[in-house]
Each structure stands twice: as structure tokens, then as C-alpha cells.
Amino acid sequence: MSKPLVAIIGRPNVGKSTFFNKIAGKRISIVEDLPGVTRDRINADVEWLGHTFTLIDTGGIDPKSEDVLFSQMRQQAETAIELADVICFFTDARDGLTDDDCEVANLLRKTKKPVLLVVNKIDYIGLDNSIYEFYELGLGDPIGISSVNMLGFGDLLDQIISFFPEDSNTDEPADKPVQVAIVGRPNVGKSSLANRLLGYQRTMVSDIAGTTRDAVDSLCSDSDGNLYNLIDTAGIRRKRAIEDESVERYSVLRSIAAIRRCDVALLLIDATDGVTEQDSKIAGLIKEEGKACLVIVNKWDAVEKETGTLEKTKKTVLDSLKFMSYAPVLFVSAATGQRVHTLFHAILDVYAMSCKRIPTGVLNDLLNDATAALQPPVQGGRRLKIYYATQTGIQPPTFVMFVNDENLMVLSYERYLENAFRKAFGFEGTPIRFMLREKKKEE
């Protein structure tokens, strides 16, 4: 279900970003380019020989830098190791084997994750022999590539996917738990909510910068016997200073990993703070991954109330998260247990909506009614024609519309169609996606 994570690590200037950009910018592999919360692009979804995975560009590990302590360098490497299913350790053929390479290799030898030793910058004949000294690292056969010339990419990608588990096409078991990620900023009550839903005190997760912040999985069931796997994550911190950027990058990656493998995300908002910029960024990650979502306003017991306070707060939350107006907003108190019992039912509702399929005939009847009620836009004397649509996927519901010219589809009309779909079919709590395909037809 979830995509494997492949991390590129190594010291600065060994060609990691060049390799990442070549993969992300060429037709070799790119499926979707995902922006992270930080300004730099940090990951991209990649496809090779039918296998889809996420490539993570981790930035350089530099133990000699005065701005980055060695302990932080170790933490960065360990975080990448912790997240990844496969690790690509990049070195530089021109520099040869360095002490910094040996430091990173010492960390990698301790992991049980697959490690591929990549010797980059084999840019011309004569550098091939330089890979042999890298056997000294004890990480297996080095793989020589040239990021600049895109040489050896196929061999490396073949090696990467060889470590992926075989996909199983067997039917999912009936009692497969719904995967629920509890995400949000630090100290909004994620662990407290997990404890309430589980019915017992689970292991606490530290939010101290620099510590390991694992996502903790816990199985539970509701009163009807429905199974859930709660993924409690550490908070995503706001970037406060330039030296904290590496910590921020990896906390974002951890949350992306947790969100990516969930079916439903619970986005916790602190009722006493309201929706912050960081809350909006986390909501953006959830929508980007196409996950069903509930917005949970926690600490509702700490808010002074008067007539209309709940509705007013709900409107304020939705105004701040306009791009996620489809998500139900629920008010709870993890500390007192107030309304927490309503969450399981809401989780099942939005999960069902994210898996909903619409028959093609019903879908096109609705589309015909919608286009008749509001004519498609005209640009340059040409009117958009939508011939028909079909649903091609779930989680999130995805629809392909065959049109005469996809450039004629304007954002406002796409939003109109989305609203028509939601009014007719529900889809509460889940994003829906439209894909356009040009179908040439005599006009």
C-alpha cells in the first residue's frame, strides 16, 4: 500500500542533489513532485519498471562544519536511516575515499537496512578504477554512476527496487485495521488523544529537538469491533532558525511517512491557539498525499464559551483552511475525554467516502446536468467540451475527464465541478482529484 522510502545520504558536494534533480526532472521516473514544508524540494515520487517509491534528498552531512555539531550530523544520518527502506550512500570518485565517508559508513554498518554504496562522478573513462578503493568501507560492491551524464542510473535503480517486497495482489483480509495517523504541532495533545482512544496509557514520545521521534503504532477497536491502527507522531516544529533546518526537514519527512501510510489523518488543532501557519502547512501535506482527514479541535475544555462559540470557532477554522473545506471539524478534549467517543464513527465515515466508487453511468448523468446548468468556459473562441468521465481510483477518489483541449479547463470551472460532485455524491472528509485527457473529435 505505502510507497518505499529511499534516502540519499553522504557528505556535501558528492552529487546527491544533481542525481535527485536528474531523476525528478526527467521522464525516466517522475510520477509526482511533492513540495515539503521547507523551501527546498526534499522528496519526489519515482517509478522504475513498475515500482513506485519516494526518493528523499537529505542534504550534506559535514562533520567538520563549525555550524553543525558532530552529534547533529549523526542525528541527521540516523534519522535518514530510520525513515528509509533503502539507503543510497553517495561518495565522490574524484575525491576518493575520505575520512568523512568512513564516519558515515561507520553509522551505516550498524543498521539492518539495505545500503547501496554509490560512487558518483565517474564522468569519463579512466575514473572507473577509482571505485575499487571504496571496497574498504565494507558495504558491498560499489556502484559507479555519473549524475551529470546520467550514466549507470539504470543499474542503480535496478538495485534499489531489488530490495522492495513483492507486491501481493491477494484480497485484503476483512479485519484489516483502518490506519489512522494523529498529526499536528507539538503539544496539541496527540499522545493524550491516542491514550484516550486506546483506553490506556501508552509510551510517551519526546518532542525534544535532536531526540529520536518515532511514529508509534497501537492497535485498538471500537465498541462495534472495528479495528484501527493508531499512528501517534511527534509534532512538526516551526522552523525557528537556520541551524534548525535539518531538524525541521526530518520532522517533516517523519510526518510525511506517517501520513503516507495512513487511511485517515486526524489533524489536531489547539483550541487555545486557533489555526496557526504551521497547522495550515500540515494540512497541506495531508491534502497533497490525498488522505481522508478530520480536523480535531482539541483542548475544547480550556475555552471560555458562550452561545454560538462552537459555530463561530468552526467557521474560523474552515476560513483558515479553505483548501480543506471538505474536512469535518470536531471539538474534543483529550484531557477530559469529552466527545472523544465520537471520533471512531467519524473516522469510519470519511474512510468510507475515500473508498467510494461511482458507476460510470451515474457519473456522466451528473456531469451532463452540471455542464447544462453552467456552460463550460470559452477561451480564444473555443469552448471546453467534456465528452465523458470515469472513475479510475480511490483513496482519494480520482476521476478522468476526456476533453477536447485540457488547456481550456480553468480552475474556477474545475472547482464548480468538484462542488457538483460533492453535492451529489458526498465525499465528505476526502479530497477528490480530476485528471484531464484530450480526446480528439470532429468539432
Cα gap 301→317, rounded to integer Å: 17
Angle CA(396)–CA(397)–CA(402) in degrees, nearest 5?
A: 130
Residues of the chain with pLDDT under 70: 1-2, 25-43, 59-80, 166-175, 200-216, 234-254, 440-443
In the beta sheet, which residues pair with residue 269?
A: 297
The DSSP annotation for 92-144 comes to ETTT-S-HHHHHHHHHHTT--S-EEEEEE---STTSGGGGGGGGGG-SSS-EE
Cell of 143: 556502484
Angle CA(183)–CA(188)–CA(189) in degrees, nearest 5?
A: 85
Cα gap 274→199, rounded to integer Å: 27
On whether the CB atoms of residues 350 and 394 are closer than 8 A, the answer is no
Can you give the pLDDT at residue 35? 33
**Other CB atoms within 10 Å distance of the CB of residue 353:** 21
- DSSP class of residue 376 equals P
Can you give the pLDDT at residue 56? 81
**What's at 228, amino acid-wise?**
Y
Can you give the pLDDT at residue 72? 54
Can you give the pLDDT at residue 249? 58
On whether the CB atoms of residues 200 and 343 are closer than 8 A, the answer is no
On whether the CB atoms of residues 159 and 6 are closer than 8 A, the answer is no
Helix, strand, or coil here: 156?
helix
304 Cβ neighbours under 8 A, 6+ residues apart = none
Cα gap 19→390, rounded to integer Å: 37
Cα gap 302→188, rounded to integer Å: 12
Report all structural domains of the chain as residue ranges with CATH numbers, in order of start: 5-161 (3.40.50.300), 178-354 (3.40.50.300), 360-438 (3.30.300.20)
Cα gap 232→191, rounded to integer Å: 6
Cα gap 290→288, rounded to integer Å: 5
Can you give the pLDDT at residue 380? 86
Burial state string for 355-379 with b = 16 or more CB within 10 A and e = fewer than 16: ebebeeeebbebbeebbeeeebeee
Cα gap 122→181, rounded to integer Å: 43
